[in-house]
Amino acid sequence: MDKNTIVGFLLIIVLVIGFSMYSKKETQEMDKERKEAAQDQAEQANTTENQADFATEQAKAPQDNPVDNFFASQTTAASQVNDTTVVATATDSIAKPEIAPVVTEPKEEIVSIENDKIKVDISTKGGQLVNVQLKGYSDFKGDSLALFGNDGSMSFLLENKSGKTLNTGEANFTPIMDKNGNSLTMRLTAGEGSHLDFVYSLSPESYMIKFDVLAVGMKDILSRETQSTFILDWKYKQKRNEKSIKNEQRYSSIYWKLEGQDVDNLSENSSKKEEINNPVKWVAFKDQFFAAVIISENSFQTSVLDSRIHEKDSTYLKTYEATLYAPVSLENNGVLKTGYSIYAGPLQYNLLKSYDDGIDKKVDQLDLDKLVPLGWTLFRWVNQYFVLPLFSILNSIGLSMGIVILLLTIIVKIIISPLTYKSFMSSAKMRVLRPQIEEINKKYPKQEQAMDRQKATMSLYSKAGVSPMAGCVPMLLQMPILLALFSFFPSAIELRHQSFLWADDLSSYDAIITWSANIPLVSWALGNHLSLFCLLMTVTNIVYTKFNMDATNTGQQQMPGMKWMMYFMPVIFLFVLNDYPSGLSYYYFISTLITILLTLIFRYSIDEEKVLAKLEANKLKPKKKSGFMARLEEAQRLQQQQQRAQQNKGNRKKK
* Residue 651 pLDDT > 50: yes
* Residue 456 pLDDT > 60: yes
Q: Which of 214-223, 355-364, 528-537, 564-573 has the lowest mean pLDDT?
A: 564-573
* Residue 220 pLDDT > 90: no
List Cα–Cα distances, 97 to 37, 38, 91, in angstroms. 10, 9, 7
Whether 175 contacts 111, CB under 8 Å: yes
Q: At 465, is the secondary structure helix, strand, or coil? A: coil
Q: At 319, is the secondary structure helix, strand, or coil? A: strand
Instruction: Name residue 20's amino acid.
Output: S
Mean of per-residue pLDDT scores for the chain: 80
Alpha-carbon dihedral 487, 491, 494, 499, rounded to 10 degrees: 80
- Band of the pLDDT at 461, cuts 50, 70, 90? confident
* Residue 652 pLDDT > 80: no
What are the residue ranges of helices labelled H in 388-503?
388-396, 401-415, 417-432, 434-443, 450-464, 472-491
pLDDT (mean) for 320-342 = 93
pLDDT value of residue 76? 40
Partnered with residue 6 across adjacent β-strands are: none
Tell me: the pLDDT tens digits for 239-257? Answer: 999 999 888 999 999 999 9
Alpha-carbon dihedral 198, 202, 203, 205, rounded to 10 degrees: 160
Whether 567 contacts 620, CB under 8 Å: no
pLDDT (mean) for 365-370 = 94
Q: If you classify domain 110-373 with CATH, what class do you get?
A: mainly beta
Instruction: Name residue 10's amino acid.
Output: L
- Strand 229-239 with 280-286, pairing: unpaired
Whether 123 contacts 110, CB under 8 Å: yes
pLDDT value of residue 521? 76
Cα–Cα distance measured from residue 503 to residue 585, given in angstroms and rounded to the nearest whole number: 11
Q: At 467, is the secondary structure helix, strand, or coil? A: coil
Instruction: Name residue 15's amino acid.
Output: L
Return the higher-pLDDT residue of 554 and 452: 452
Instruction: Name the residue ranges covered by the structural domains of the chain.
Output: 3-92, 110-373, 381-623
Return the higher-pLDDT residue of 632 and 231: 231
Q: How many CB atoms lie within 10 A of CB 130?
A: 19
* Residue 265 pLDDT > 60: yes
- Band of the pLDDT at 53, cuts 50, 70, 90? very low
pLDDT (mean) for 174-198 = 90
Q: What percent of the chain has pLDDT over 90?
A: 45
Cα–Cα distance measured from residue 97 to residue 38, given in angstroms and rounded to the nearest whole number: 9
pLDDT (mean) for 283-293 = 96
Cα–Cα distance measured from residue 649 to residue 655, given in angstroms and rounded to the nearest whole number: 10
- Band of the pLDDT at 478, cuts 50, 70, 90? confident
- Band of the pLDDT at 424, cuts 50, 70, 90? confident
Going by C-alpha positions, the residue among 420, 445, 417, 438 that lies closest to residue 553 is: 438
Tell me: the pLDDT tens digits for 74-124? Answer: 334 333 333 333 333 333 333 444 444 444 567 889 999 999 999 999 999
pLDDT (mean) for 619-641 = 64
Whether 291 contacts 371, CB under 8 Å: yes
Cα–Cα distance measured from residue 147 to residue 133, given in angstroms and rounded to the nearest whole number: 7
The whole-model pTM stands at 0.76
Q: End-to-end CA distance of the chain, in Å?
A: 151
pLDDT (mean) for 190-204 = 91
H or E element, residue 130: strand 129-138
